[in-house]
Amino acid sequence: MKDFTWSIKNKTNNSKARTGIISTPHGEIKTPAFIFCATKAALKSFTTKDAKENNTQIILSNTYHLMLQPGSELIAKHGGLHKFIGWNGPMLTDSGGFQIFSLGHGSVADEIKGRKIKSNIKKTLLNINEEGALFKSYIDGSTHILSPEKSIQVQRNLGADFILVFDECTPYNVDKAYTSESMHRSHRWSLRSINAFNSKIIYKPSYGSAGKQELYAIIQGGIYKDLREESIQFNTKEIDTFGIAIGGSLGSNKEEMKDIVHFTSSKLGTARPIHLLGIGDPNDIWDFVADGIDTFDCVSPTRIARHGSALVKGKQGKINLKNVKYKNNLNPIDKECKCYTCKNFTLAYLYHLFSAQELLGLQLLTNHNIFFMNNLMKEIRNSINNNNFNNAKKNWLNS
Protein backbone atom coordinates (compact mmCIF):
# COMPACT_ATOMS: atom_id res chain seq x y z
CA MET A 1 0.00 0.00 0.00
CA LYS A 2 1.28 3.45 -0.92
CA ASP A 3 2.49 5.50 2.05
CA PHE A 4 1.86 9.14 2.95
CA THR A 5 4.23 11.83 1.69
CA TRP A 6 4.24 15.61 1.39
CA SER A 7 6.37 17.55 -1.06
CA ILE A 8 6.45 21.14 -2.28
CA LYS A 9 6.79 21.55 -6.04
CA ASN A 10 6.88 25.29 -6.72
CA LYS A 11 6.87 28.55 -4.77
CA THR A 12 6.13 32.13 -5.77
CA ASN A 13 8.80 34.80 -5.58
CA ASN A 14 6.78 37.43 -3.71
CA SER A 15 4.52 35.45 -1.36
CA LYS A 16 4.37 32.15 0.52
CA ALA A 17 2.04 30.63 -2.08
CA ARG A 18 3.19 27.17 -3.08
CA THR A 19 2.09 24.09 -4.96
CA GLY A 20 2.66 20.62 -3.61
CA ILE A 21 1.53 17.02 -3.62
CA ILE A 22 0.11 15.09 -0.69
CA SER A 23 0.31 11.37 -1.45
CA THR A 24 -2.05 8.97 0.32
CA PRO A 25 -2.91 5.27 -0.02
CA HIS A 26 -6.05 6.39 -1.88
CA GLY A 27 -4.39 8.77 -4.31
CA GLU A 28 -2.62 12.09 -4.66
CA ILE A 29 -3.85 15.57 -3.76
CA LYS A 30 -2.45 18.45 -5.78
CA THR A 31 -2.29 21.50 -3.55
CA PRO A 32 -3.61 24.10 -2.98
CA ALA A 33 -6.82 22.05 -2.82
CA PHE A 34 -10.37 22.40 -1.56
CA ILE A 35 -12.00 19.69 0.54
CA PHE A 36 -15.75 19.29 0.09
CA CYS A 37 -17.91 18.38 3.07
CA ALA A 38 -19.90 15.17 2.97
CA THR A 39 -20.84 15.83 6.59
CA LYS A 40 -23.13 12.84 7.10
CA ALA A 41 -21.31 10.66 4.53
CA ALA A 42 -23.14 12.33 1.64
CA LEU A 43 -22.55 15.32 -0.61
CA LYS A 44 -26.13 16.51 -0.40
CA SER A 45 -27.94 16.00 -3.74
CA PHE A 46 -24.66 14.92 -5.39
CA THR A 47 -22.97 11.54 -5.91
CA THR A 48 -19.29 10.81 -5.42
CA LYS A 49 -19.18 9.86 -9.12
CA ASP A 50 -20.38 13.36 -9.99
CA ALA A 51 -17.84 14.83 -7.58
CA LYS A 52 -15.00 12.94 -9.26
CA GLU A 53 -16.19 14.01 -12.73
CA ASN A 54 -16.03 17.61 -11.50
CA ASN A 55 -12.35 17.14 -10.52
CA THR A 56 -12.81 16.76 -6.77
CA GLN A 57 -9.67 15.43 -5.11
CA ILE A 58 -10.65 14.89 -1.46
CA ILE A 59 -13.83 14.72 0.64
CA LEU A 60 -14.44 15.36 4.35
CA SER A 61 -16.93 13.64 6.67
CA ASN A 62 -17.86 14.38 10.26
CA THR A 63 -17.08 12.25 13.30
CA TYR A 64 -19.77 13.77 15.52
CA HIS A 65 -22.64 13.12 13.10
CA LEU A 66 -21.49 9.67 11.99
CA MET A 67 -20.86 8.35 15.51
CA LEU A 68 -24.51 9.15 16.24
CA GLN A 69 -25.93 7.91 12.94
CA PRO A 70 -25.40 5.29 11.56
CA GLY A 71 -22.54 4.53 14.01
CA SER A 72 -18.88 4.10 13.18
CA GLU A 73 -18.97 0.33 13.75
CA LEU A 74 -21.37 -0.16 10.84
CA ILE A 75 -19.14 1.94 8.59
CA ALA A 76 -16.12 -0.11 9.67
CA LYS A 77 -17.96 -3.28 8.59
CA HIS A 78 -18.12 -1.81 5.08
CA GLY A 79 -14.35 -1.37 5.08
CA GLY A 80 -14.51 2.31 6.00
CA LEU A 81 -16.01 5.47 4.58
CA HIS A 82 -14.45 5.04 1.15
CA LYS A 83 -16.50 1.92 0.45
CA PHE A 84 -19.50 3.14 2.42
CA ILE A 85 -19.96 6.21 0.20
CA GLY A 86 -18.42 4.84 -3.01
CA TRP A 87 -15.41 7.14 -3.11
CA ASN A 88 -11.97 5.93 -4.24
CA GLY A 89 -10.02 9.09 -3.44
CA PRO A 90 -8.48 10.57 -0.28
CA MET A 91 -10.72 11.42 2.68
CA LEU A 92 -10.48 13.40 5.92
CA THR A 93 -12.57 13.30 9.08
CA ASP A 94 -12.67 16.00 11.74
CA SER A 95 -12.54 15.06 15.40
CA GLY A 96 -16.13 15.95 16.29
CA GLY A 97 -15.14 18.74 18.65
CA PHE A 98 -16.26 21.61 16.44
CA GLN A 99 -19.83 20.34 16.14
CA ILE A 100 -20.18 19.59 19.84
CA PHE A 101 -18.92 22.98 20.91
CA SER A 102 -20.79 24.89 18.21
CA LEU A 103 -23.98 23.21 19.36
CA GLY A 104 -23.01 24.00 22.93
CA HIS A 105 -22.20 27.66 22.41
CA GLY A 106 -24.82 28.05 19.70
CA SER A 107 -22.64 30.44 17.77
CA VAL A 108 -19.14 29.14 17.04
CA ALA A 109 -19.60 28.61 13.30
CA ASP A 110 -21.00 32.10 12.88
CA GLU A 111 -18.42 33.79 15.05
CA ILE A 112 -15.47 32.15 13.33
CA LYS A 113 -16.65 33.74 10.12
CA GLY A 114 -17.80 37.01 11.68
CA ARG A 115 -21.52 36.41 11.20
CA LYS A 116 -24.40 37.43 13.43
CA ILE A 117 -24.94 35.10 16.37
CA LYS A 118 -28.00 32.85 16.12
CA SER A 119 -29.54 32.85 19.58
CA ASN A 120 -32.34 30.37 18.81
CA ILE A 121 -30.09 27.31 18.34
CA LYS A 122 -30.86 24.59 20.88
CA LYS A 123 -27.76 23.96 22.96
CA THR A 124 -26.89 20.28 23.46
CA LEU A 125 -23.47 20.47 25.15
CA LEU A 126 -23.87 19.55 28.82
CA ASN A 127 -20.36 19.79 30.21
CA ILE A 128 -16.69 20.13 29.25
CA ASN A 129 -14.05 18.73 31.57
CA GLU A 130 -10.64 17.11 31.38
CA GLU A 131 -12.15 13.79 30.35
CA GLY A 132 -13.96 15.22 27.33
CA ALA A 133 -17.31 16.67 26.29
CA LEU A 134 -20.64 15.42 27.61
CA PHE A 135 -23.49 16.14 25.21
CA LYS A 136 -26.99 15.15 24.18
CA SER A 137 -27.65 13.63 20.79
CA TYR A 138 -29.53 16.00 18.50
CA ILE A 139 -31.26 12.92 17.07
CA ASP A 140 -32.84 11.28 20.12
CA GLY A 141 -31.64 13.20 23.19
CA SER A 142 -29.44 10.35 24.44
CA THR A 143 -26.34 11.31 26.43
CA HIS A 144 -22.83 10.69 25.11
CA ILE A 145 -19.29 11.59 26.07
CA LEU A 146 -16.68 12.28 23.42
CA SER A 147 -13.13 12.09 24.68
CA PRO A 148 -9.84 12.18 22.76
CA GLU A 149 -9.66 8.40 22.94
CA LYS A 150 -13.25 7.98 21.78
CA SER A 151 -12.79 10.45 18.93
CA ILE A 152 -9.72 8.62 17.65
CA GLN A 153 -11.44 5.24 17.94
CA VAL A 154 -14.45 6.49 15.97
CA GLN A 155 -12.14 8.00 13.34
CA ARG A 156 -10.21 4.73 13.09
CA ASN A 157 -13.53 2.98 12.47
CA LEU A 158 -14.45 5.55 9.83
CA GLY A 159 -11.10 4.90 8.15
CA ALA A 160 -10.38 8.25 6.47
CA ASP A 161 -6.83 8.83 5.27
CA PHE A 162 -6.44 11.90 7.47
CA ILE A 163 -7.90 12.32 10.94
CA LEU A 164 -7.74 15.18 13.45
CA VAL A 165 -6.83 15.37 17.10
CA PHE A 166 -9.70 16.15 19.48
CA ASP A 167 -9.92 19.82 20.46
CA GLU A 168 -12.27 22.50 21.69
CA CYS A 169 -13.14 25.27 19.28
CA THR A 170 -13.72 28.32 21.45
CA PRO A 171 -16.10 31.05 20.25
CA TYR A 172 -15.20 34.69 19.85
CA ASN A 173 -17.30 35.86 22.79
CA VAL A 174 -15.28 34.12 25.52
CA ASP A 175 -12.52 36.01 27.30
CA LYS A 176 -8.79 35.45 27.10
CA ALA A 177 -8.69 33.52 30.37
CA TYR A 178 -11.12 30.90 29.09
CA THR A 179 -9.45 30.83 25.66
CA SER A 180 -6.14 30.07 27.38
CA GLU A 181 -7.68 27.41 29.64
CA SER A 182 -9.35 25.77 26.65
CA MET A 183 -6.19 25.89 24.54
CA HIS A 184 -4.10 24.18 27.19
CA ARG A 185 -6.78 21.53 27.65
CA SER A 186 -6.80 21.00 23.87
CA HIS A 187 -3.03 20.54 24.00
CA ARG A 188 -3.45 17.84 26.63
CA TRP A 189 -6.21 16.29 24.52
CA SER A 190 -3.82 16.33 21.55
CA LEU A 191 -1.30 14.26 23.49
CA ARG A 192 -4.03 11.80 24.44
CA SER A 193 -5.23 11.70 20.83
CA ILE A 194 -1.72 10.86 19.64
CA ASN A 195 -1.34 8.15 22.29
CA ALA A 196 -4.67 6.63 21.25
CA PHE A 197 -3.70 6.83 17.59
CA ASN A 198 -0.46 4.98 18.30
CA SER A 199 -2.05 2.32 20.52
CA LYS A 200 -3.51 -1.04 19.56
CA ILE A 201 -7.22 -0.91 20.31
CA ILE A 202 -8.86 -2.86 17.49
CA TYR A 203 -6.59 -1.99 14.60
CA LYS A 204 -2.83 -1.82 14.30
CA PRO A 205 -1.29 1.45 15.54
CA SER A 206 -1.83 4.24 12.97
CA TYR A 207 -4.32 2.10 11.07
CA GLY A 208 -8.07 2.36 10.58
CA SER A 209 -10.75 0.27 8.93
CA ALA A 210 -9.50 1.20 5.44
CA GLY A 211 -5.76 0.99 6.10
CA LYS A 212 -3.04 3.36 7.24
CA GLN A 213 -3.99 6.82 8.50
CA GLU A 214 -2.16 10.03 9.41
CA LEU A 215 -2.90 12.70 12.01
CA TYR A 216 -3.33 16.47 11.78
CA ALA A 217 -2.70 18.61 14.86
CA ILE A 218 -4.74 21.77 15.47
CA ILE A 219 -3.50 25.22 16.49
CA GLN A 220 -5.80 27.13 18.86
CA GLY A 221 -5.48 30.43 20.75
CA GLY A 222 -8.42 32.45 19.44
CA ILE A 223 -7.67 36.06 18.52
CA TYR A 224 -4.77 36.35 20.98
CA LYS A 225 -1.40 36.29 19.26
CA ASP A 226 0.55 35.33 22.37
CA LEU A 227 -1.72 32.31 22.80
CA ARG A 228 -1.41 31.48 19.09
CA GLU A 229 2.37 31.68 19.54
CA GLU A 230 2.21 29.26 22.45
CA SER A 231 0.00 26.85 20.52
CA ILE A 232 2.32 27.03 17.51
CA GLN A 233 5.24 26.19 19.78
CA PHE A 234 3.40 23.20 21.23
CA ASN A 235 2.25 21.85 17.87
CA THR A 236 5.57 22.30 16.08
CA LYS A 237 8.07 21.49 18.84
CA GLU A 238 6.38 19.22 21.36
CA ILE A 239 4.38 16.89 19.11
CA ASP A 240 4.95 15.46 15.66
CA THR A 241 2.06 14.90 13.25
CA PHE A 242 1.86 14.55 9.47
CA GLY A 243 -0.06 17.80 9.01
CA ILE A 244 -1.15 20.84 10.96
CA ALA A 245 -4.46 22.70 10.94
CA ILE A 246 -5.32 26.24 11.95
CA GLY A 247 -8.50 26.19 14.03
CA GLY A 248 -10.48 28.13 16.59
CA SER A 249 -12.08 31.54 16.46
CA LEU A 250 -10.36 33.75 13.92
CA GLY A 251 -11.97 37.05 14.84
CA SER A 252 -15.15 39.07 14.55
CA ASN A 253 -14.59 40.24 10.96
CA LYS A 254 -12.61 39.36 7.84
CA GLU A 255 -9.79 41.78 8.59
CA GLU A 256 -9.20 40.23 12.01
CA MET A 257 -9.53 36.72 10.53
CA LYS A 258 -6.92 37.44 7.86
CA ASP A 259 -4.58 38.96 10.41
CA ILE A 260 -4.75 35.89 12.66
CA VAL A 261 -4.28 33.46 9.76
CA HIS A 262 -1.36 35.49 8.41
CA PHE A 263 0.29 35.65 11.84
CA THR A 264 -0.17 31.93 12.48
CA SER A 265 0.80 30.62 9.05
CA SER A 266 3.91 32.81 8.93
CA LYS A 267 5.42 30.72 11.73
CA LEU A 268 4.65 27.23 10.44
CA GLY A 269 7.30 26.70 7.78
CA THR A 270 7.15 24.12 5.02
CA ALA A 271 7.78 20.79 6.76
CA ARG A 272 4.10 19.86 6.97
CA PRO A 273 1.01 20.58 4.88
CA ILE A 274 -1.13 23.33 6.42
CA HIS A 275 -4.91 23.13 6.52
CA LEU A 276 -7.30 25.98 7.33
CA LEU A 277 -10.44 24.71 9.02
CA GLY A 278 -13.88 25.92 7.97
CA ILE A 279 -12.98 28.70 5.51
CA GLY A 280 -14.16 28.59 1.90
CA ASP A 281 -14.88 32.02 0.44
CA PRO A 282 -13.22 31.94 -3.03
CA ASN A 283 -11.88 35.49 -2.78
CA ASP A 284 -10.44 34.86 0.69
CA ILE A 285 -8.72 31.72 -0.56
CA TRP A 286 -6.44 33.79 -2.79
CA ASP A 287 -5.20 35.69 0.28
CA PHE A 288 -4.75 32.57 2.38
CA VAL A 289 -2.89 30.70 -0.36
CA ALA A 290 -0.48 33.66 -0.37
CA ASP A 291 0.03 32.96 3.35
CA GLY A 292 1.11 29.39 2.61
CA ILE A 293 -2.15 27.52 3.24
CA ASP A 294 -2.31 24.23 1.33
CA THR A 295 -5.85 22.93 1.88
CA PHE A 296 -9.25 24.34 2.85
CA ASP A 297 -12.64 22.94 3.81
CA CYS A 298 -16.06 24.50 4.14
CA VAL A 299 -19.72 23.55 3.69
CA SER A 300 -20.39 26.87 1.96
CA PRO A 301 -20.11 25.97 -1.77
CA THR A 302 -22.67 23.16 -1.55
CA ARG A 303 -24.83 24.80 1.12
CA ILE A 304 -25.35 28.06 -0.78
CA ALA A 305 -26.13 26.04 -3.92
CA ARG A 306 -29.08 24.46 -2.10
CA HIS A 307 -30.30 27.95 -1.25
CA GLY A 308 -30.09 29.15 -4.86
CA SER A 309 -26.70 30.89 -4.99
CA ALA A 310 -24.09 30.30 -7.68
CA LEU A 311 -20.41 31.12 -7.24
CA VAL A 312 -18.99 33.56 -9.78
CA LYS A 313 -15.66 35.25 -10.41
CA GLY A 314 -15.21 38.83 -9.27
CA LYS A 315 -15.46 40.63 -5.98
CA GLN A 316 -19.19 39.93 -5.56
CA GLY A 317 -18.39 36.22 -5.37
CA LYS A 318 -21.89 34.83 -5.90
CA ILE A 319 -25.31 35.55 -7.41
CA ASN A 320 -28.75 34.61 -6.10
CA LEU A 321 -30.69 32.80 -8.82
CA LYS A 322 -33.95 33.28 -6.95
CA ASN A 323 -33.76 36.95 -7.92
CA VAL A 324 -36.54 37.81 -10.38
CA LYS A 325 -34.06 39.61 -12.62
CA TYR A 326 -32.95 36.20 -13.89
CA LYS A 327 -36.48 35.08 -14.84
CA ASN A 328 -35.99 35.76 -18.56
CA ASN A 329 -32.19 35.67 -18.79
CA LEU A 330 -31.09 33.30 -21.55
CA ASN A 331 -27.41 33.31 -20.60
CA PRO A 332 -25.67 30.64 -18.51
CA ILE A 333 -24.24 31.44 -15.08
CA ASP A 334 -20.83 31.93 -16.72
CA LYS A 335 -20.24 31.74 -20.49
CA GLU A 336 -16.64 30.65 -19.92
CA CYS A 337 -17.43 27.95 -17.34
CA LYS A 338 -17.04 24.38 -18.63
CA CYS A 339 -19.30 22.71 -16.06
CA TYR A 340 -22.29 20.65 -17.17
CA THR A 341 -24.73 23.24 -15.81
CA CYS A 342 -23.24 26.21 -17.63
CA LYS A 343 -22.84 24.29 -20.89
CA ASN A 344 -26.47 23.18 -20.96
CA PHE A 345 -28.80 25.47 -19.01
CA THR A 346 -29.78 29.13 -18.80
CA LEU A 347 -30.25 31.39 -15.81
CA ALA A 348 -33.95 31.51 -16.71
CA TYR A 349 -34.21 27.73 -16.42
CA LEU A 350 -32.38 27.68 -13.10
CA TYR A 351 -34.64 30.47 -11.83
CA HIS A 352 -37.63 28.39 -12.90
CA LEU A 353 -36.37 25.30 -11.07
CA PHE A 354 -36.00 27.14 -7.79
CA SER A 355 -39.31 28.95 -8.25
CA ALA A 356 -41.01 25.61 -8.84
CA GLN A 357 -39.06 24.01 -5.99
CA GLU A 358 -37.70 21.34 -8.29
CA LEU A 359 -34.89 19.27 -6.74
CA LEU A 360 -32.97 19.37 -10.00
CA GLY A 361 -32.14 23.00 -9.25
CA LEU A 362 -30.18 21.93 -6.16
CA GLN A 363 -28.24 19.37 -8.17
CA LEU A 364 -27.39 21.72 -11.03
CA LEU A 365 -26.17 24.51 -8.76
CA THR A 366 -24.21 22.05 -6.62
CA ASN A 367 -22.62 20.80 -9.83
CA HIS A 368 -21.62 24.32 -10.83
CA ASN A 369 -20.29 25.33 -7.39
CA ILE A 370 -18.18 22.19 -7.00
CA PHE A 371 -16.74 22.58 -10.50
CA PHE A 372 -16.16 26.28 -9.79
CA MET A 373 -14.18 25.62 -6.59
CA ASN A 374 -12.06 22.93 -8.20
CA ASN A 375 -11.41 25.17 -11.19
CA LEU A 376 -10.45 28.00 -8.83
CA MET A 377 -7.88 25.79 -7.13
CA LYS A 378 -6.55 24.63 -10.51
CA GLU A 379 -6.14 28.24 -11.67
CA ILE A 380 -4.33 29.06 -8.43
CA ARG A 381 -1.99 26.09 -8.85
CA ASN A 382 -1.27 27.01 -12.48
CA SER A 383 -0.55 30.63 -11.54
CA ILE A 384 1.95 29.53 -8.88
CA ASN A 385 3.63 27.07 -11.21
CA ASN A 386 3.89 29.81 -13.84
CA ASN A 387 5.02 32.39 -11.25
CA ASN A 388 2.04 34.55 -12.16
CA PHE A 389 0.08 34.38 -8.91
CA ASN A 390 -0.50 38.11 -8.27
CA ASN A 391 -1.67 38.82 -11.81
CA ALA A 392 -3.97 35.81 -11.78
CA LYS A 393 -5.47 36.94 -8.48
CA LYS A 394 -6.03 40.44 -9.84
CA ASN A 395 -7.65 39.11 -13.01
CA TRP A 396 -9.91 36.78 -11.02
CA LEU A 397 -11.14 39.48 -8.66
CA ASN A 398 -11.70 41.95 -11.52
CA SER A 399 -13.58 39.52 -13.76
Are the beta carbons of 243 and 274 closer than 8 angstroms? yes
* CA–CA gap between residue 278 and residue 280 (Å, rounded): 7
Backbone phi and psi for residue 72, each to the nearest 5 degrees, phi listed first: -70, -25
Q: Is 94 a catalytic residue?
A: yes
Are the beta carbons of 34 and 67 closer than 8 angstroms? no
Are the beta carbons of 161 and 26 closer than 8 angstroms? yes
Q: What is the CA radius of gyration of the chain?
A: 20
* CA–CA gap between residue 298 and residue 281 (Å, rounded): 8
Task: Name the residue among 113, 154, 150, 31 with its Cα closest to residue 279.
Answer: 113
Catalytic residue among 3, 94, 110, 140: 94
Segments of 2-149 assigned E as strands: 5-11, 18-24, 27-31, 33-37, 58-62, 91-94, 125-128, 133-136, 143-146
Task: Taking the CA atoms of 65, 69, 71 and 74 in sequence, report the sign of the dihedral they define.
Answer: negative
Task: Name the residue among 387, 383, 384, 386 with its Cα closest to residue 395.
Answer: 383
Catalytic residue among 167, 281, 291, 297: 297
Q: Is 110 a catalytic residue?
A: no
Which residues does 91 contact at the CB level (< 8 Å), separation at least 6?
A: 26, 58, 59, 60, 61, 81, 82, 159, 160, 161, 162
Residues tagged active-site? 94, 297
